Amino acid sequence: MSGNLYTRKMGEEYNTIFRQCVSLNTELHKLVPLAKQMHLLSSNAVSSAARAGSEGDAFRVLTQDIQLLGDEVSDCIGDTQKVIGEIVKLASNLAKLFSHYMIYMSLQERLEDQETMTSATFFEHGHQLVAEELKANNYKLSRSLNSLSNLLSPIARLVKKGEYLAVFSSVEAASAGEHGVSFEAVSSMLRELVGQLGLQSARQRSLLRDLSDAMEKQQINQGKLLYAR
């Protein structure tokens, strides 16, 4: 493949990566209201357990677990928000650096065909600097994507845990009769929230997989173009 084809392909890949990062960012932001709803659910669970009075001992134990789950989900979501901000910034920077890289390439091509008073090495410095920054940014982006993947991985476990808690809450609510009515509502809300969390995290994992594939392809092309220089 010629240098021009590589650069065009890489340009498309950087744009794809940037768009995928933005989509992932959008998806991850959808988790923020879920974290808030988990907190609300914890408060509801506390008041439901209190309303059940002496019949609510089992609810109080479940409430502690729901609170713990809520905290874990919130922490997980909070951490992903920090990392995704950095990822979008790096992806946008990569796209910008790559456009600079291409501009320098176009300049070098022009200079090759003409007599010039400017020494050949002058613009090499800029070109090289951009290439180095591209490599460094790429490395940082890969690392941040790995961190994000690690941060998202506990969500599947939390969803499972939430589903179990919803079942237990429902069973306890049913056996407590009329004392368990409000706790049944907590159980339904929990089931719905972890359901949403499960769906969203599946979508995010799929986006992240696509993004990692795109990064892998792009790094192969980058290797061919930048390291061959």
Partner 1 sequence: MRVEKLYKKDTHSWMVMGRDAERREEVIDTNHYLIEHDGRGLLLDPGGVENFSVVAAEFSKHFELANVEAIFASHQDPDVISSLPLWVQANPDLIVYMPQIWVSFITHFGVKLENIRPIPDEGGVITLAGHELEVVPAHYLHSSGNLSVYDPQSKIFFSGDIGAALLPHDSTNLFVEDFDAHTQYMEYFHRRWMPSNTAKMRWIAEVRKRDVEMLCPQHGAIFKGEDVARFLSWFENLDLGSAWNNVR
Positions in the binding site for partner 1 (CB under 8 A):
96, 99-100, 103-104, 106-107, 110-111, 114-119, 122-123, 125-126, 129-130
**Measured from the CB atom, is 111 or 185 closer to partner 1?**
111
How far apart (Å, rounded) are the C-alpha atoms in residues 103 and 87? 24
| Cα maximum dimension of the chain | 93
**Measured from the CB atom, is 105 or 171 closer to partner 1?**
105
Distances (CA, A) of 34 to 20, 39, 40, 167, 195: 22, 9, 10, 20, 11
Kindly state the smallest distance separating residue 192's Cβ from partner 1, in Å: 44
Buried b (16+ CB within 10 A) or exposed e, 2-21: eeeebbebbeebbebbbebb
Kindly state the smallest distance separating residue 90's Cβ from partner 1, in Å: 14
Kindly state the smallest distance separating residue 40's Cβ from partner 1, in Å: 40
Q: Name the token pair of 151.
A: 């941060």
How far apart (Å, rounded) are the C-alpha atoms in residues 131 and 229? 10
**Measured from the CB atom, is 22 or 102 closer to partner 1?**
102
Kindly state the smallest distance separating residue 95's Cβ from partner 1, in Å: 13
CB-based contact 22:88 (threshold 8 Å)? yes
Kindly state the smallest distance separating residue 27's Cβ from partner 1, in Å: 28
How far apart (Å, rounded) are the C-alpha atoms in residues 13 and 7? 10
Q: Name the token pair of 104.
A: 């320098």
**Measured from the CB atom, is 59 or 104 closer to partner 1?**
104
**Measured from the CB atom, is 104 or 183 closer to partner 1?**
104
Kindly state the smallest distance separating residue 114's Cβ from partner 1, in Å: 6
Distances (CA, A) of 160 to 48, 62, 80, 114, 154: 23, 15, 19, 67, 10
**Measured from the CB atom, is 129 or 167 closer to partner 1?**
129
